[in-house]
Amino acid sequence: EQGDPRGEFLRLACEYDSLPFTEAGLGRALTRLEEIEPEIDPDWISSVMVGQVWLRYHKRAFSLLSEKPVISKNNVLKIERWEKKVGHQLPASLKEWYSLEGAEQRLGCRPEFSTMTLQRTLNRAARSADSENRSPHLGSIMRWFVGWSSLDECEVSLEGSDDPPVDRVLWAADTFSEFVKNLLWSNLTDTWWFEHEYDQWSPENRSSYPDFPMLYACEPAFSLRDISYLSKHHIKDFQRMVGGRWLEILDPFTREPRTYFKPTSLFHFYTRGVRLRIICLGNPKRRRVESHWEIFGDSVQELVDVVSQHLWGHRTLAKTLMASNEGGEESLAILRNNS
C-alpha cells in the first residue's frame, strides 16, 4: 500500500465484501473507499473486481438495503440498444443503477404509485433527445425522467455529469445516487426523506407504522457523546446539526395557536435490518438537547437484537422506549422480559 492507493483499495474492498453489516468497520471501509476510488483508474478496478458486481455510485444504497447487487442482462441490453440508437451515453450513475435487477421497483416511493418501466423511461429520454420535441423551458438539455403515474416526475439531466442532480422541488437531490439512497430510506422507514428540511415534531403528532415493528422514545439529553457512541455500532447515513427555536403560529384551519420547533437537527443511522431516526430540538454540538428517537426494524427479532445489544442500556432508553404498533409492543415485551 505504500504510495499506491490500489493496495488499500483491494484491502478495503475485501473488508467491505466480508464484514457483517452489524460491524462499525463496514461504515469506515465504505467511507474510505468513497474517498480513494476517484483516484484509481476505473478500468483497473473493473479488471481486478471481475466476477463481482462492484458499484461505484450506489454502494451506500445497497448497504442500506443489506443486499448484494445483481446485474440484469435484460436491462443492460436495453440500455446498450438505446445508447446506440440515440448516439448518447447515459451518465455513469444512472447506467449503473438501471443495469441492476429490481432497479425500477426499488424507486417506487409508495405502494399506491406505480413506477415507470425502464423501457418507457428510455423511450421518453429518446424523445427528449429530438430537438424538435424539446420543451422550450428545458432548452437543449436532454432529460431522464424518474417518475410515478400519480406523482410529479423527477427530472435528471443527461448531460454534463456522471452523477447528475435530480430536479423536482421537494424530491431534489445534488446527485442521482443521493436521490436513490434517500428514496430507499423513505421506503424503509415510511417517512418522507425530504422532511429533514421541515421537521415539526412534537409528542402529540407521532405516527404509527403498521408494516414493520417500530419503537420510539423522548430522551431529555443528546450530545456529541451520543453521536460518537452510535457511530461505533451503526453506519451513519445522514446528519444535520443546526440551532433552532420554538415558534408560534395560528393554525390556518382552526385559528388556534400552535407551537413547533424549527429547524431541527436530524440524524440517520442504520445497521442490518434496523434504522434509527433521531430528531433534536437544538444543536447537540453546542449542548445537550432534547431528542426524539424512532427505531424501525425489518422484523421483531432484528429489532430486539440490535436494541438489546446497543441501545437498551444507553442513556435512559430502557425507561423511555415505547411501542408505536403491534410489532413494537411485541419487541418491547421481549426486551423488558430479557432485562
| Amino acid letter, 315 | R
Residue 210, pLDDT score: 58
What confidence category does residue 209 fall into, taking pLDDT thresholds of 50, 70 and 90? low
Helix axes 73-86, 118-129, angle to 10 degrees: 10
**Banded model confidence at residue 150, pLDDT cuts 50, 70, 90:** very low
pLDDT band at 17 (very low <50, low <70, confident <90, very high): low
Decide if pLDDT at 54 tops 90: no
- Residue found by looking up cell 461505484 in the block: 56
Residue 133: predicted pLDDT: 47
Query: Residue 43: its pLDDT value, please?
Result: 79
Q: Is the pLDDT of residue 136 over 90?
A: no
Q: Which of 6-15, 135-144, 259-268 is most confident?
A: 259-268
The pLDDT of residue 25: 67
Cβ-count burial of 240 within 10 angstroms (0-12 exposed, 13-18 middle, 19+ buried)? middle
pLDDT at residue 149 greater than cutoff 70: no
Q: Average model confidence (pLDDT) for the chain?
A: 80
Q: Is there a contact between 71 and 99 (Cβ–Cβ < 8 Å)?
A: yes
Q: What is the pLDDT of residue 157?
A: 74
C-alpha cell at 114: 406505480
How far, in whole angstroms, is CA 200 from its chain's centroid? Answer: 20
Tell me what pLDDT residue 129 has: 61
Q: Is the pLDDT assigned to residue 307 strictly greater than 70?
A: yes
Residue 280: strand, helix, or coil: strand
The mean pLDDT value for 303-332 works out to: 94
Q: Structure pTM?
A: 0.76
Q: How confident is the model at residue 112 (pLDDT cuts 50, 70, 90)?
A: low
- pLDDT for res 51: 64
Q: Which of 31-45, 126-140, 221-235 has the highest mean pLDDT?
A: 221-235
Residue 255 CB contacts under 8 Å (≥ 6 apart), including other chains: none
> What does the pLDDT read at residue 170?
55
For 339, the 3-state DSSP assignment is: coil
> What is the per-residue pLDDT for 293?
94
Residue 137 confidence (pLDDT): 35
Q: DSSP string covering 142-207, please?
A: -EEEEEETTEEEEEEESSS-SS--EESGGG-BSSHHHHHHHHHHHHHHTS-GGGGGT----GGG--
Domain ranges of the chain: 5-52, 73-189, 196-338
- State what percent of residues in the chain have pLDDT above 90: 29
Q: Is the pLDDT of residue 330 over 90?
A: yes
- Residue 290's pLDDT band, with cuts at 50, 70 and 90, is very high
* Average pLDDT, integer, range 157-162: 76
CATH classification of 196-338 is 3.30.310, yes or no? yes
The amino acid at residue 280 is C
| 254-267 pLDDT per residue, tens | 888 877 777 889 99
Q: The C-alpha cell of 309 is what?
A: 445489544
